[in-house]
A and B are shown apart, each in its own frame.
Chain A
Amino acid sequence: MSGYVVVGAVVLSGILLVMAAALARRLLAPRVVTAAKRTTYESGVDPVGADWAQTNVRYFVYAFLYVIFAVDAVYLFPWATVIRDPQLGGASLVEMGIFLLVLIIGLGHAARRGLLRWM
């Protein structure tokens, strides 16, 4: 467990680093705030439109696929620790093979239906 104490201390040192950088910025960087500087950058022209815009998130299918496969990967890690068990090894390999096969069929189906093509 003592490892995680060090991890905590490292996170703390990271926060200190950010605070030190903020201090350095406060001491060294100039501050001349003008309205023109604070406008949103749009390649030199005045910003167009308000802060709401409709957009079409086309890659949500990838997000679904990701969730499916990420759950799959969670099962792979515990498998790594038991595959050398003489009683479980062979059987777990067959089970994992079936599991992976189902996933590959799913991915193949998604590819066949054109879901992996960015439209």
Chain B
Amino acid sequence: MSALEVVVRALVTLVGFLVLPLIVGQTEHKVMAHMQGRLGPMYAGGFHGWAQLVADGVKFVQKEDVTPAAADRWVFRLAPAVALIPYLVAICVIPLGPHVVGAQVDAGALFVVAVAGVGILGTLMAGWASANKYSLLGAMRSAAQLLSYELPIVLSVASVALAAGTLSLGGIVGQWSPWWLLWQLPGAVCFLTAALAELQRPPFDMPVADSEIVFGAYTEYTGLRFAFFLLAEYAGIVVMSLFFTVLFLGGWRGPFADQLGVVWTLLKGLLVAVVIIWFRVAWPRMREDQLQRLAWVWLVPIALFQVALTGVGVVVRR
């Protein structure tokens, strides 16, 4: 691989990483506006309020950047980058088509899970370095949430890896067959629920619950640094939707997969993203203790059951 190809691949990944979260953000504005009858997001720029996101961006850039006097300056300033970059790395190994992938990595499934878990460090750093009580509480809740919900994700990914007999994401899509939709259903439900929790999306947004701890770990952030945390959230939705698509929905599989593979992956991913947005509109926030209980009493046992089911299925059918 030539140096030029490496640079081009990195740049294309970066552009995709900047564009896809914006599409998800725009979709969220419009889907929520329609579902909840909101007028605000439909106004700016005329047709369907297309300019709302642009206006938000301009606003963020112009906001003053305030570092609190009590904050641990360097950690405070580094935190948004630590929250954002892991998702960029995760997105580059997820295959969009049979030959369309940023970086070919052998154990892609494991790689994505490992890298996506790093993002939480950014939240922890932000919460600790802000020297703010709300921030610290929010960060602690995020950490507790990640501890509980990382497991169902890892277990259901392990189940899919078992079913496919490989850890490579491309290999998993190659082995996928439609009846996985039924066979891997418990794992898929666990994965999607846990992914919502890991992204701190409603109904699992206790760490940023605005009615009790302002905005959790991001309370003290302003301007572009704050925008980076928001971008990280939407990038997280993109990563989790595409990852879900590749693991459970057969990725690029579909009619004319050789030519249209990328389109299929993106369409299925967008569908999953809309479901994630829908959850935000439809469900109230869960209490912190209910949230932990859900993970340990329901999701972990179901995911373990899925692993057993997959193991038996593979050995019986062999």
Residues of A within 8 A of B (CB): 2-7, 9-15, 17-18, 21, 24-25, 28-33, 35, 37-43, 47, 51, 53, 57, 59, 62-63, 65-66, 69-70, 73, 76-77, 79-81, 83-84, 86, 89-90, 93, 96-97, 100, 103-104, 107, 111, 116-118
Most buried by A among B70, B106, B131: B70
Question: Complex Cα distance A33/B69, Å?
Answer: 10
Please give, as numbers and ranges, the residues of chain A lying within 8 Å of B300 by CB-CB distance.
69, 107
List B residues at the A interface (Cβ < 8 Å).
1, 6-7, 9-11, 13-14, 18, 61-70, 80-81, 84-85, 88-89, 92-93, 102-107, 110, 130-134, 140, 144, 147-148, 150-151, 154-155, 158, 161-162, 164-167, 214, 219-220, 223-225, 228, 288-289, 292-293, 296-297, 300-301, 304, 307-308, 311-312, 314-315, 318
List B contacts of A73 (CB < 8 A): 151, 154-155, 158
Chain B nearest CB, measured from A55 CB (Å): 8
Beta-carbon contact of A80 and B167 below 8 Å: yes
Cα distance, A83 to B138, chains bound together (Å): 42
User: Which residues of A sit under 8 angstroms from B154, Cβ to Cβ?
Assistant: 70, 73
Nearest Cβ in chain A — how far from B60, in angstroms?
9
A31 to B151 CA separation, bound complex (whole angstroms) = 44
- B14 contacts A41, C-beta separation under 8 Å: no
Q: Which of A10, A17, A117 has a CB less than 8 Å from the CB of B89?
A: A10
